[in-house]
Structure 1
């Protein structure tokens, strides 16, 4: 399995995998592929990584800057992350997560936030923090991972592409 940065030729495949991965998810807005496209168009993708298995793209993860008033350093949001439905549950998401977080560390990022299942993301060190909110309210599903420095406090805003 190879993890690498997306290339222009990968765009259509990333969109197809993202759409397929979220098609039956009950929490999906159906806009995940469009979010990635809009982040790309706005040049707001900090990282856009693909997982390659035998020359086929089988997964993707995006990281983009988030705003946190008064936070020290650069914080990023993780997502969407998507794996081809026929390849889910085989550790591809874990590989993408670890590669992306390692690259954020290399970039000197202060931290990363996401909205997701605490049982899954907790194993990467993500945790809910009532002092860090999304939409003005704490949630066990809104989590953060501190990479360097103090914890951020306040309400997080994502790039406008997430309102797509």
Structure 2
């Protein structure tokens, strides 16, 4: 198993993984469009011994109240069914968080299962008066600070790129 930054040759494997994992085209189309528009800040893949993509996590820019604050959104996160329960998602997310921290990013947000993401150090964003545009997501919208002062004086609407509004 190898966990690394995605490269161009990984695109078909990522696409296939996302279509299998999410039983449809939405996430695969989202990632393809983000990639085509240069909006993937960081993509992390896990490959098996034959080089097949068995895990993927993408990070893309977000703004807070219209300001660019060196924040990114984590989405999507996918692990091939045969590799689940082995800590692969945790390893990919941590690899991504470490790299983003090294690159100087301040915070990461995600919309996902609180029980999963809290294990990765994410907290409910609502407790910091942060929200996303989708109603009913207060429990699932989460934030992870990379910089100690990332949340100081920051509150309001966190917006993903328009690509996320189409799916």
**TM-score with structure 1 length normalisation?**
0.90
Q: 1:63 aligns with which of 45, 59, 67?
A: 59
Question: Contact between 2:62 and 2:68, CA under 8 Å: does it hold in 1?
Answer: no
Q: CA deviation at 1:116?
A: 0.6
- Unaligned runs of 5+ residues in structure 1 are 24-28
Give the superposition deviation at 1:57.
1.6
| SS of alignment partner, residue 139 of structure 1 | coil
Counterparts of 2:53 and 2:107, CA distance in 1:
27
**Residues 1:133 and 2:131 aligned together:** yes
Deviation at 1:107, TM superposition (A): 0.8
Q: Match for residue 78 of structure 1?
A: 74
> How many residues in Structure 1 have an aligned counterpart in Structure 2?
159
TM superposition shift of 1:122? 0.4
- Distance in 2 (CA, whole Å) between partners of 1:124 and 1:88 is 16
Instruction: Please provide the CA RMSD for this pair.
Output: 1.8
Of 41-50 and 87-96, deviating more is 87-96
Offset, 1:72: 7.6
Give me the whole-angstrom Cα distance separating, in 2, the residues matched to 1:127 and 1:159. Answer: 22
Q: Deviation of residue 86 (structure 1)?
A: 1.7
List alignment gaps of at least 5 residues for structure 2: none
TM-score, structure 2 as length reference: 0.88
The equivalent of 1:9 in structure 2 is 9
CA 71–15 in structure 1, closer or farther in 2 if over 3 Å, else same:
same
Structure 2 counterpart SS, 1:65? strand
Residues 63, 69 of structure 2: 8 Å contact kept? no
Check if 1:100 corresponds to 2:96.
Answer: yes
The 3-state SS of whatever aligns with 2:105 is coil
C-alpha displacement of 1:7: 1.7
The answer to whether 1:157 aligns with 2:159 is yes
Q: Which residue of 1 aligns with 2:29?
A: 34
